[in-house]
Amino acid sequence: MTATQSKLHLLDVTLRDGSHSMKHAFTEEQVRAVARGLDTAGVEFFEVSHGDGLGGSSLQYGLSAVDEMKLIAAAAEECKQAKISVLLLPGIGIQENLEEAVQAGAKMVRVATHVTEADVAKQHIELGRKLGLKTVGFLMMAHMAPVEKLVEQAKLFESYGAEIVYATDSAGALLPHETRERISALRQHLSCEIGFHGHNNLSLAMANTLAAIEAGATYIDGSLRCLGAGSGNTQTEVMVAVLDRLGYRTDIALYPIMDVANQVVAKFMPRPQEITGGSLIMGYSGVYSSFLLHTQAAAEKFNVDERDILIELGRRQAVGGQEDLIVEVASMLAKNR
């Protein structure tokens, strides 16, 4: 890999993707402490919202312990230079949610759709630009579509006004050569900047992130101590060290980013972000990473193996928003024993 002097933009998702692992129970004090640490370390953007984006607090996705607008405002108050990003999934988040997030201090919106459904995001992308936000298209479950389809959908995002388009490995299912192929194709066919968001269910998040950078991605995601859905994301503080060793510029200070990871986040994490039986099967079968805790609960309720649930969900090609299938599959497996 040959390093470039152009800056890589490392966006931290601890306070959004980590919400899944925290069962959406971040406190204002935890958010403020993480925000201060990220800001001090020099992180340019970090994301704050319910794990399933603005408006995600619900019985289906999990109720937030603290209103997300309060958390966004608290994070923004702690920042001297960092900017707050929010995630918005059309059908979950609505215009009023985004407008309220802007009032609370958000400066970026990432509009997320399934990899084949970018067309549902046109009005949301246009709204982000109208509100003066850095506006991003976020194609989830990128492993589920052929490269040609990914490029087609990314072009839609760009045509709507997206300034950055992400290929998102929501299941942690991609292998490095598959990541490289997807990012290279996006770089070849789009004029906007390209991003990559990885999950570590197959222990490949760092390898995939480096492959994405090599192929032309300039925006990359990470979370402190890997705190995120499934086995978590590419580990922010480790990525800072690795990229520095490779000669890339992130403008993030290593010691301070390590400090917020180890002295703040590590102390409130409910569990280590290990690759467990469930999260490994998620990567293996291509299941949405945020399904993990829901699947574990269903497995316990119906006394079935969580791995069997996940394999069946993978066979059915379940995607985000189909959490109701988890209980249906668990019930079916229990009846068929």
Q: Which residues are catalytic?
A: 20
In degrees and rounded to multiples of 5, residue 164 shows phi and psi of -140, 140
170 labelled ligand-binding: yes
CA distances (Å), origin 71, targets 33, 175, 239? 11, 35, 26
Residues 216 and 194 sit within 8 Å (Cβ to Cβ): yes
Nearest-CA neighbor of 223 among 10, 1, 6? 10
Would you report the helix, strand and coil content of the chain in percent, each value rounded to 5?
Answer: 50, 15, 35
How many residues are present in the chain?
337
Nearest-CA neighbor of 118 among 158, 170, 61? 158
219 labelled ligand-binding: no
16 labelled ligand-binding: yes
Nearest-CA neighbor of 221 among 73, 97, 90, 43? 43
17 labelled ligand-binding: yes
Nearest-CA neighbor of 291 among 199, 226, 178, 176? 199
Give the C-alpha separation, 144 to 171, whole Å.
10
CA distances (Å), origin 58, targets 67, 170, 190? 12, 21, 36
Residues 47 and 86 sit within 8 Å (Cβ to Cβ): yes
Sign, CA torsion 151/152/157/158 = positive
| CA 34 to mean position of chain CA atoms | 17
288 labelled ligand-binding: yes
Nearest-CA neighbor of 78 among 131, 32, 20? 32
Binding site members for Mn(2+): 17, 197, 199
Binding-site positions for substrate read 16-17, 170, 197, 288
Q: Which residues are annotated as a binding site?
A: 16-17, 170, 197, 199, 288
